[in-house]
Amino acid sequence: MKKLIIASTSTVHGSGFLEYISNDLKTHFKDVSKILFIPYARPGGISHNEYTLKAKTAFNKIDIDVNGIHEYDNPTEAVKNAEGIFVGGGNTFVLVDQLYKNNVISALQESINNGTPYLGTSAGSNICGLTLCTTNDMPIVYPPSFKTLAFVPFNINPHYLDPNPNSTHMGETRETRIQEFHKFNTQPVVGLREGSYLHVIGNEIILKGNLHARIFEQNKVPYEISSNTSLTNLN
């Protein structure tokens, strides 16, 4: 049975890394003593070791140890043997490229679908959808495929931003970009605002956090859903 926290961000304003969901993580990883961290997205281009230390520091506060997947000779076996898995944010194209090149896509799907608890933030949440095509990131590398893990039957747009009516910016809004996506793709898109996350248990998908999420479906007017709303039938 799948057990996932799919979070828009690792850090909200005024809070440290993962602090805003620390209580949820205690429950989510209650039977886990060590987490496998996947630092491939490399935010700001930091090293795998630097990023893993950041994750380790956060999880040590709730008495869980962390090892980076890059520390293992066989990444596929590391995923298969993991008690829990955390995929952090950064650049989604870099993340997906490395997941494919290290042959861990299928291993992740098998492990998570069989019940290994998973946390994804930002890029690590984006890959839980059907494709990476609703990321906000620059395509600085070209992964073998845009297909991702498909733990939920829709796409995700982390860090979703509402248009600012007082802004003088004349470029496209996030909503406009997603409408462009729907000219070529049919799957729904969930706009996750900062501090919101999807809680997945089995086939049940529930929006959590203090903010609404914005839902985009092809050929429909976008709409808002409130926290604790089920998204199980969104496909």
Active site residues: 122, 137, 159
Burial class (CB in 10 A: 0-12, 13-18, 19+), 228: exposed
* Unique residue bearing structure tokens 């049919």: 186
Q: Retrieve residue 78's tokens.
A: 């590391």
Chain length of the chain: 235
Helix (H, G, I), strand (E, B) or coil at 25: helix
Task: List C-alpha distances in Å: 52 to 14, 63, 67, 170.
Answer: 22, 16, 7, 38
Please, what sign has the CA dihedral across residues 48, 4, 180, 175? negative
Report the amino acid identity of residue 126: N
Distance CA 213, CA 224 (A): 6
Q: Residue 144: what residue type?
A: P
Helix (H, G, I), strand (E, B) or coil at 102: coil
